[in-house]
Amino acid sequence: MASTTIPDVKSALLTLLGTVSALTTPNVDIRYAFSPSQRRDAVWMGETVLSELEPANFRGGRSRRHESFTIALHVQAHGRTPLEAETDAFAYARAIEEALADDPKINDTSNLSWAYVEEMEAQTAEADDGPACTIEMTIRCKGNFV
C-alpha cells in the first residue's frame, strides 16, 4: 500500500516545469531542491506539507484514502534593477501557473485529482551580487490512493 502520492506528484511537477517554455532557457535552472551554489535564475521545490489524510470510508481492510498537501515552489530571478528581477520572477510564476491550469493532473499522475497555485509570496532584495526577487508559490494538491 502506498503511503502518499507526494513523490509521484513532485516528480511529475519537475517534468512539467521542464516543458514550460519560459523556463527552458540557459538562464534558468530547474531543480528538485535548493542549491546553495545556484547563482542565476532558478526554480526549485521546497517544503511539502501533508495537511489532510483521511479514509474514503470506514470499512475493514484496504480502502481508498484522500490526501491534501502543499508543495512550496520557489522561483528566483536576478536583474540589473529590483524591478527587472521582480518582473522576470513574476513572468516565470505566471508561466508555471498557466501550465498547471492547463494540466491540473500534471501529466495524468496516478492518483492525483488536481493541483493548482493556491498563493504566492514575493520578496525582493538587493545584495552584493545584485538585485533578486524570490517568489514562493504554494501548490495545493489533492490525491486519492489505496
For the chain, what is the mean pLDDT? 90
pLDDT > 70 in the chain, percent: 90
Q: Does residue 68 fall inside a structural domain?
A: yes
Cβ atoms of 135 and 90 closer than 8 Å: yes
Residue 121 resides in a domain: yes
Residue 1 lies in a domain: no
For residues 9 and 11, give the distance between their C-alpha atoms in angstroms, rounded to a whole number.
Answer: 5
The parent domain of residue 54 ranges over: 6-145
pLDDT digits (tens, 9 = 90+) for 66-101: 899 999 999 999 999 999 999 999 999 999 999 999
* Residue 24 located in a structural domain: yes
pLDDT in tens, the chain (146 residues): 457 889 999 999 999 999 999 999 888 999 999 988 777 899 999 999 988 766 655 566 656 678 999 999 999 999 999 999 999 999 999 999 999 999 999 999 988 999 999 999 999 999 888 999 999 999 999 988 76
For residue 21, the domain's CATH number is 3.30.2000.10
Name the phi and psi angles at 16, rounded to 5. -60, -45
For residue 16, is it within any domain? yes
Q: Using CA atoms, how far apart are residues 15 and 103, in angstroms rounded to an integer? A: 12
**Dihedrals phi, psi of 102, to nearest 5 degrees:** -75, -25
Residue 132 lies in a domain: yes
Give how many domains the chain has, as a whole number. 1
Between CA 42 and CA 44 the distance in angstroms is: 7
